[in-house]
Structure 1
Amino acid sequence: MTKIARRMFELLEPICLATFLAGECSEELAALGHRTYWDGYFASRAAPLGRVPAQVVHAAFYSFTPAEAARHIPSAWETIPPEASVAARERGSAASLRRMLGDELAGSPGLVRAADLTAKAATSAPTEGRVMYAAMRALPVPGDPVARLWHCATMLREHRGDGHVAALVGARIGGTEAHVLNALAQGVHPPESFGRIHHLPKKRLAAVMAGMRERGLVDAGGRFTDAGRETRQRVETLTDELAAAPYDALSAAELDELIAELEPITAKLVAAGLPVPSND
C-alpha cells in the first residue's frame, strides 16, 4: 500500500493546493476581514482545532517557528469566528476547483464517483495520534461533489501531514531543518534562500545550518551529505507507509477506479497552473 499512498498523494495534492495557490480562497478570507494571506491561512487551517493557543497551532503545524504562529493566533479569531473561516476556506477552494476544471468536468459523474471514493477513504482511518486529521474528521462532509472532493482530499492531506510530522520527530528533524532538506532535494542552493524559510532571521538560519553540519546532514558548503540524503529518504518512505491506512478501506477495484477518475481531474488542475507535488 505504500506505492498507493504515494500515487494518491500525487493525485490529490493539486486538489488541496487550490486552497493556497488560487485566488478565490484568499478572496473569501479577505472578505471576512482577515488582513493578510497568512492571517487567513492560520485562521482557516487551524480553525478545526477550536480556539487553541498559538503554542498548540505551532505544535500541530510543526514547520513554522513559534513566532510565526503567535503573529496570527489567536488574534485572527478575535473578531472572526473559527467556523466562519472554515466555511470561507471551503467556499473559496471549491470555487477555484470549479473554475479550473470547467463545468463539464466539475459536473461529471466521474468527479462525483471520485468524491465518493475519496470520502470513503478519508473517513475510515484511525485518528489516534493524528491531531489535524482528527480535527478535520470532526467537520461535516459537504454534500456538493466538488466541495466534498476538496474537503476529503484535504482531510487525507492532514492525515499524511500528521504522519510526516511523526516521521520527522522520529528522525530528530525540526520544522526548519525539514525545509532545508526539501530545498536541497529540489536543487535550491543555498538552502537558506528557499521560499519557506528565507524570511527567517539570519541568526536563526545560521544556527540551524550549523546544527545540521554538526550532525553530518549537510557539508561545509551547505549541500547534502550522503547521510543527509539518506535521512530525508528515510523520512519520506516512512511518511508514505504511515499515509497508507485510509486506503485499506477501498477494495482493489475501487482503488483502480479512484485513480482512473482522479487522473483527468489532476491533469486539468496541473495544466491550469497548480504544481506537481514535491515530496514534502
Structure 2
Amino acid sequence: MQSLVSVAGDTARRLHQLMEPIHLVTYFADEPDQALMALGLRNTWDAYFAGRAAPLGRVPAEVVDAVFYNFAAGEVARHIPRVWEVTTPEAALAARQEGSAAALRRILGDLAGTSTLARAAELATKAATSAPTEGRVLYAALRTVPVPVDPVARLWHAATLLREHRGDGHNAALVAAGIGGTEAHVLHALSEGMPPEKFGRVHHLPADRLAAVVDGMRVRGLIDGSGQLSDAGRRAKEQIESITDDLAAAAYAILAPGERDQLIADLEPIAATLEAAGSR
C-alpha cells in the first residue's frame, strides 16, 4: 500500500502535468512576447526575465540568479537590472498576464468561455492562494499580485502560482541533493536520452565549460564512462522528482478529494487542447 505522502505526490504530479500547458503559453505563444516587447524590451530573453522576475521588484541580478537557480553565470546580469531602465515591474506583470490570457483565448477557442474553465479557475485559485510560502521566495512574491477577475486570466495566474510554488520546491530538492544549476540541466537532458550539448538550456554554453560540468558529474558517479546516467545518477534524478512532487502536494491540501477530482476532470480537456497546439 502506498503511503499518504506518495499518493499526495502522485496527485501533485498529475495536476502539474495538467497545469503546465496553461502556463507554457507564456513562453511558447507570440502574444506574451509581443505584449512585453511593446514596452520597449529588446528580445525574448528580456521579456522572459522582466516578466518572470517582476514580482520580486527591482532587485539586483544576484537575487534573481539565486531565485531562478539554474541559469549559467552571467546570463541573468545581461538582462537584470537593464530591463528596469526601459519599463517597470508593474507594467511587465500586466503585459505578461494580458498576453498570456490572450494566447489562451485564441488556442482554447469556445472552451475559453465555458463553465468548465471557470470552475477550474476557481478550484485552481483556491489551491494556488493557500499553499505555504515558507522558503518559497518567487511563489511568495507572486502571491502579492492581485488575482485577476476574468476566468481565463485567473486560470493562467493560478497555474503560474502553482508552477512557481513547485519550482521553489524543486530548487530546494536540487540544493539538498548537491546538484548545481547547470548540472540540473545535464541530469534532465540525459534522463530524456538527449546529449547535454543538444539540450536547449545549455547547448549555447562554451564546449569546454559544459564538458567541465559533465566531467565533474562523472567524478561524482552520476554519469558513467559512456556519458550516460549511471545507476546513481538515475536514483538521484528520481529522488529529486519524488521530493519535488511531495513538496508540491501541500498546495492541494485545501481541496477536498472531490474537488481535486473535479479539478483534474475540468483541466483534462483544457490541457489536451493546449498540448495539441504545443501551447503556442
TM range (shorter): over 0.9
CA contact (8 A) 1:15 1:269 kept: yes
Q: For 1:97-246, what aligned pairs fall within 5 Å after superposition?
A: 97-102=104-109, 104-189=110-195, 191-246=196-251
Amino acid at match of 2:38: A
CA contact (8 A) 1:55 1:66 kept: no
CA contact (8 A) 1:28 1:92 kept: yes
The 2-side partners of 1:206 and 1:48 are apart by: 35
List gaps (5 residues or longer) in structure 1: 276-280
Q: Give the Å deviation of 1:273.
A: 2.1
Poorly superposed stretches of 4+, deviation over 4 Å? none
The 1-side partners of 2:278 and 2:53 are apart by: 26
SS of 1:83's equivalent?
Answer: helix
List gaps (5 residues or longer) in structure 2: 1-7
SS of 2:75's equivalent?
Answer: helix
The 2-side partners of 1:87 and 1:185 are apart by: 36
Q: Give the Å deviation of 1:84.
A: 0.5
The 1-side partners of 2:212 and 2:61 are apart by: 23
The 2-side partners of 1:29 and 1:200 are apart by: 26
Q: Give the Å deviation of 1:193.
A: 2.0
Aligned to 1:278: none
Amino acid at match of 2:104: L
CA contact (8 A) 1:90 1:147 kept: yes
Are 1:62 and 2:69 counterparts? Answer: yes
The 2-side partners of 1:76 and 1:175 are apart by: 23
The 2-side partners of 1:170 and 1:273 are apart by: 33
Residue in structure 2 matching 1:42, options 42, 49, 55: 49
SS of 1:200's equivalent?
Answer: coil
TM-score normalised by structure 1 residue count: 0.96
Q: Give the Å deviation of 1:91.
A: 0.5
Deviation track 1:149-178 (CA, whole Å, cap 9, x = no partner) reads 000100000000000000000000011101
Q: Give the Å deviation of 1:233.
A: 0.4
SS of 1:124's equivalent?
Answer: coil
- Percent identity, aligned pairs only? 63
Q: Give the Å deviation of 1:125.
A: 1.0
Residue in structure 1 matching 2:16, options 5, 9, 23: 9
Deviation track 1:169-191 (CA, whole Å, cap 9, x = no partner) reads 000001110100110111102x2
Aligned to 1:51: 58
SS of 2:274's equivalent?
Answer: helix
CA RMSD of aligned residues (A): 1.0
Are 1:79 and 2:86 counterparts? Answer: yes
TM-score normalised by structure 2 residue count: 0.96
Deviation track 1:104-127 (CA, whole Å, cap 9, x = no partner) reads 210001100000000000011110
The 2-side partners of 1:79 and 1:177 are apart by: 33
Q: Give the Å deviation of 1:66.
A: 2.8
Amino acid at match of 1:66: A
Q: Give the Å deviation of 1:272.
A: 1.5
CA contact (8 A) 2:139 2:164 kept: yes
The 2-side partners of 1:68 and 1:246 are apart by: 31
Q: Give the Å deviation of 1:204.
A: 1.6
SS of 1:197's equivalent?
Answer: coil
Q: Give the Å deviation of 1:220.
A: 2.5
Q: Give the Å deviation of 1:221.
A: 2.7
